Amino acid sequence: MGHTLAEKILLSRSEADSLAPGDVVMVRCDVVMTNDISGPIAFRTMREMGVEKVFDPAKVVLIPDHFVPAKDVRSAELQKVLKEWAAEQGVVFYDQGRGGIEHAVLVEDGWVVPGSVVAGGDSHTCTLGALGAFGTGLGSTDVAACLAFGEFWQAVPGTIRVEFSGEKGRFVTGKDLILAVIAQIGVDGGTDHVLEFVGPGAEALSIDERLAVANLAVEAGSETGIFPADDRTAAYLEGRTDRPWTAERSDPDAEFARSVRIELDSLPPLIALPHSPGNVVALAEAVGRRIDQVYIGNCSNGTLTDLRQAAEILRGKQVHPRTRAIVVPATQKIWRAALAEGLLDVFAAAGCIVSTPTCGACFGGGNGILAAGENALATTNRNFKGRMGSPEAGVYLGNAWVAAAAAVAGEIVDPAEVL
């Protein structure tokens, strides 16, 4: 019996001679990443374990991004802990103004290559599967073990094969593809499984759009989401990294737990209604709902592709008087690229707030909190009750074109009507 792509990666990073779904193996880390929330807890736990130094400083990355800039004394103290610990350990630290949102930074700066294993102190480490890596989010105790010993235990997940067939239409993006998957399998349909994205529709996606798809794998309950590496992956990594890698795919006789097929030819833009990423409807079913805040950004949907889509809608137009719009490039490099292209000026001229790279309002940490009774349309990944502020607010999830159109109209609308 052959192995799936995820099984091959885990096999290559463990001492096991063979493995199958349900087996528990110790997995070696190629990269361990933590941030200003999970990091300080992990450092304390590591000390309680009696370990003073990380297993390999070259494989540890610290990226403050959740409370950036610091919103209060407590968040400033967390970032101070991160910075001082990085200096003490001799590990890479991306200070504010030099990095951005952790997952986007790791991809952008060549930390992630196909076949690698990345243990991250954040649930959306699954984003890194866009490059064919096994990226998985761990709790702070497990991150502490990774920092100390460079490995973690992993129950081998089954694999759900997700095939994207056909070609996506106008105003349809990677965000819509993964929302379609979640709509079909549910928010717990991927529990104890990996989502492997294949088919001509998957291969046609840019790396930016693959990031958006892989990012929401955890919203289906999955361990991670993964794209087999291909020529697009190789082109993206050219000049970014000197880490060795090879392109792997699932074996022809690999056993999948389930197969899901999404027809892109007939897929419209989608919206996830409050208060679940699985509460998915076609855009047409949500048209007319009032929007008080638009948020374009996030660890996957703050890419240059997203910013270009938003600017296409907003160029020469104004944000609606009853709506505020916040635009958050995912990294400092993306921010500067958007500046060079004139995109930031388009946003400012339209009346948007343009932010430094940050997780900020996405998780209710700051820079865009919602009041009771307000509605937001965000390109983020979660819309649970109270996620972005008041539990009496509503959060809708959609792509950048749809979000920008709502900013102009003050309500959910088909982007074609705004253009």
Res 21 pLDDT > 90: yes
Strand partners, 254: 2
> What is the tens place of the pLDDT at every residue in 145-190?
999 999 999 999 999 999 999 999 999 999 999 999 999 999 999 9
Strand runs (DSSP E) across 97-253, as ranges? 117-120, 134-137, 151-155, 158-165, 193-198, 224-226
Q: Model-level pTM?
A: 0.96
- What token pair was written down for 187? 């928010």
Give the CATH class of 5-262.
alpha beta
Q: Determine the pLDDT at residue 47.
A: 95
The owner of tokens 């993306």 is 334
Reported as a pLDDT band with limits 50, 70 and 90, residue 361 is confident
39-48, 185-194, 254-263, 360-369: which has the minimum mean pLDDT? 360-369
Q: Which two tokens stand for residue 177?
A: 């593809």
**Is the confidence at residue 393, as pLDDT, over 90?**
yes
Q: Above 90 in pLDDT, residue 300?
A: no
Q: Tell which phi-psi region holds residue 352, choosing left (phi > 0), alpha (psi between -120 and 50) or beta.
A: beta
What was the pLDDT predicted at 367? 87
Class of domain 271-418: alpha beta
Residues of CATH 3.30.499.10 domain(s) within the chain? 5-262, 271-418
Tens of pLDDT, residues 190-219: 999 999 999 999 999 999 999 999 999 999
CA distance 302 to 327: 8
pLDDT band at 360 (very low <50, low <70, confident <90, very high): confident
Q: Is 90 helix (H, G, I), strand (E, B) or coil?
A: coil
